[in-house]
């Protein structure tokens, strides 16, 4: 592991239950040839012992700004580091770092270094998804901080969800990638900086499931929550794009700066999308648009006593196909395929039939995948026959993989 071998790495460990995994991270980095200097916060010492890191690290662990035998440690550590790694990084550590508050040794090192910084968030799902935490991460990414997103799995207290510290092997791989400048590996946790690689581009995103009215209170719809489309919109904004979101659901906790257009029916979405698509450089059709709608809508609520209504349906306009037909030069179009069987075959056929650049396909019958979940697992197919599989991850991580594929597609054009 050439990037790690010989590197001087400051390993910051903060106060979360995931601190026990930092022991394995430390061991793996040392085994790979790094000189590892552990820096433990007061909170970390409530979960792990200093003696363990004294034994496994390349030198004795640091725990305080006030070690009498080592003056101004933060300056020395920050200036001598080839990389600073924080694993786990709690919500508190991320907030202090974003705000530039230096209340302990680790925060001082983070502010005093000019070396690359990699943070590995770990916290409960509700904390991970809180808008303040996501805003802090967005700001840190914009400053060049590398973030290894947490995984999905069992959390403290027996809950299951997003926020679990990335696995030690993936953290070490991300560190190696930063140090060596290696390209990211699709489908694996990456130390992304949130670089503005979409700057200057206009991105149009759709989200949610349309509702086709039967009467004033009933409709034909689907289970799409809009979460994946909202995640794509937020990630595109972070990466520098000018973003418009056409959504059937009310977006929550999205960063300021996204133009939001609310619609309900397929016809309304068609009008909103086609009116705006001509000016868009990238269109991501994440919405689940109804294939059929009632020919007639009752003006009054249908009564049960009147018997079951006879519904006559007609097809809605295929918005994705229309986009493919009217695309302008240099435009990138991304479609979605929610399937329950023959995932790749159905998605590949849709890619060709619609005339788009990318199809993001998921098996919505699989646990934790797709509609209404905070997680997703997809395969991204391109028009050249390539495929990228992204395993079960939170939807923001899926959004990053989708936009990475968009960037790659545009660079190949």
Residue 206 in contact with residue 247, Cβ under 8 Å?
yes
Chain-wide mean pLDDT for the chain? 89
pLDDT for position 397: 83
Nearest-angstrom CA–CA distance, 64 and 288: 53
Distance in angstroms (rounded) separating the CA atoms of residues 85 and 278: 44
SS3 at position 285: strand
Higher pLDDT, 75 or 329: 329
For the record, the structure tokens of 94 come out as 């991320």
End-to-end CA distance of the chain: 33
**Among 298, 410, 306, which Cα is nearest to 357's?**
410
**Structure confidence at residue 372 as a pLDDT band (50, 70, 90):** confident
Hey, what domains does the chain have and what are their CATH numbers? 8-190 (3.40.50.1950), 202-412 (3.40.50.10300)
Over residues 192-196, mean pLDDT: 53
| Residue 13 preceded by cis peptide, ω within 30 | no
DSSP letter at 161 equals: E
Helix residue ranges per DSSP H, 215-258: 227-238
- Do 168 and 24 form a contact (C-beta atoms < 8 A)? yes
Most confident range, picked from 100-104, 284-288, 303-307, 396-400: 284-288
Lowest mean pLDDT among 75-79, 86-90, 155-159, 240-244: 155-159
For 385, the token pair is 């026959």
- Choose among 341, 411, 335: nearest CA to 380: 335
- Under 8 Å between Cβ of 285 and 319: yes
Q: What is the pLDDT of residue 338?
A: 93
Q: What residues contact residue 69 under an 8 Å CB cut-off, 6+ apart? A: none
390/395 Cα distance (integer angstroms):
11
CA distance 319 to 186: 29
CB atoms < 10 A from the CB of 160, how many? 12
In sequence order, what DSSP letters do the residues of 332-376 get, joined into one string?
EEEEEEEESSSHHHHHHHHHHHHT-SEEEEEETTSTT-STT-SEE
Using CB atoms within 10 Å of the CB of residue 396, give its burial: 0 to 12 exposed, 13 to 18 middle, 19+ buried. Answer: buried
pLDDT per residue as tens digits for the range 13-39: 999 999 999 999 999 999 999 999 999
Quote the pLDDT of residue 5.
87
Q: Give the span between the Cα atoms of 20 and 42, in whole angstroms.
A: 15
Q: How far is Cα 380 from Cα 398, in angstroms, rounded to an integer?
A: 10
Q: How far apart are CA 171 and CA 189, in angstroms?
A: 8
Token pair, residue 155, equals: 């959390």
pLDDT tops 60 at residue 194: no
Considering the candidates 108, 222, 346, 362, report the single residue annotated as catalytic. 222
CA angle (247, 253, 259) in 5-degree steps? 45
Per-residue tokens: 45: 């010492």
Write the CB contacts of 310 (distance below 8 Å, at least 6 apart in sequence).
none
Q: What angle do CA 281, 283, 375 make, to 5 degrees?
A: 135
Active site residue 222: yes
Tell me which DSSP letter residue 347 carries.
H
């Amino acid at each position: 592991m050439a990037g790690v071998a010989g590197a001087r790495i400051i390993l910051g460990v903060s106060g979360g239950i995931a601190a026990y995994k930092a022991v394995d991270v430390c061991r793996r980095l040392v085994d790979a040839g790094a000189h590892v200097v552990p820096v433990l916060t007061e909170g970390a010492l409530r979960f792990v012992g200093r003696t363990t890191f004294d034994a496994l690290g390349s030198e004795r662990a640091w725990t305080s700004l006030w070690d009498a035998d080592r003056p101004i440690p933060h300056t020395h550590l920050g200036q001598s580091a080839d990389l600073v790694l924080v694993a786990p990084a709690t919500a508190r550590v991320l907030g202090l770092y974003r705000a530039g508050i230096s209340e302990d040794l680790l925060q001082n090192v983070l502010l005093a270094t000019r070396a690359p910084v990699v943070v590995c968030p770990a916290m409960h799902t509700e904390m991970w998804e809180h808008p303040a935490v996501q805003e802090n991460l967005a700001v840190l990414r914009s400053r060049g901080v590398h973030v290894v997103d947490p995984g999905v799995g069992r959390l403290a207290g027996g809950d299951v969800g997003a926020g679990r510290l990335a696995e030690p092997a993936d953290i070490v791989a991300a560190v190696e990638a930063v140090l060596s400048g290696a390209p990211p590996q699709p489908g694996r946790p990456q130390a992304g900086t949130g670089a503005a690689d979409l700057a200057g581009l206009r991105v149009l995103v759709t989200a949610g499931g349309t509702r086709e009215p039967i009467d004033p209170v009933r409709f034909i719809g689907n289970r799409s929550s809009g979460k994946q489309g909202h995640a794509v919109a937020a990630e595109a904004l972070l990466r520098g794009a000018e973003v418009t979101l056409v959504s059937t659901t009310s977006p929550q906790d999205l960063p300021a700066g996204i133009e939001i257009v609310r619609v309900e029916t397929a016809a309304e979405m068609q009008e909103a999308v086609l009116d705006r698509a001509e000016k868009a450089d990238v269109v991501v059709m994440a919405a689940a648009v109804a294939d059929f709608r009632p020919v007639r809508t009752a003006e009054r609520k249908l009564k049960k006593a009147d018997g079951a209504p006879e519904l006559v349906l007609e097809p809605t306009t295929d918005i994705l196909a229309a986009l493919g037909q009217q695309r302008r030069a240099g435009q990138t179009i991304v479609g979605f395929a929610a399937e329950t069987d023959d995932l790749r075959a159905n998605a590949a056929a849709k890619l060709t039939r619609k005339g788009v650049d990318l199809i993001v396909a998921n098996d919505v019958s699989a646990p934790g995948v797709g509609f209404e979940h905070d997680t997703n697992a997809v395969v991204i197919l391109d028009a050249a026959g390539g495929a990228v599989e992204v395993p079960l991850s939170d939807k923001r991580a899926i959004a990053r993989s989708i936009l990475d594929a968009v960037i790659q597609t545009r660079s190949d054009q």
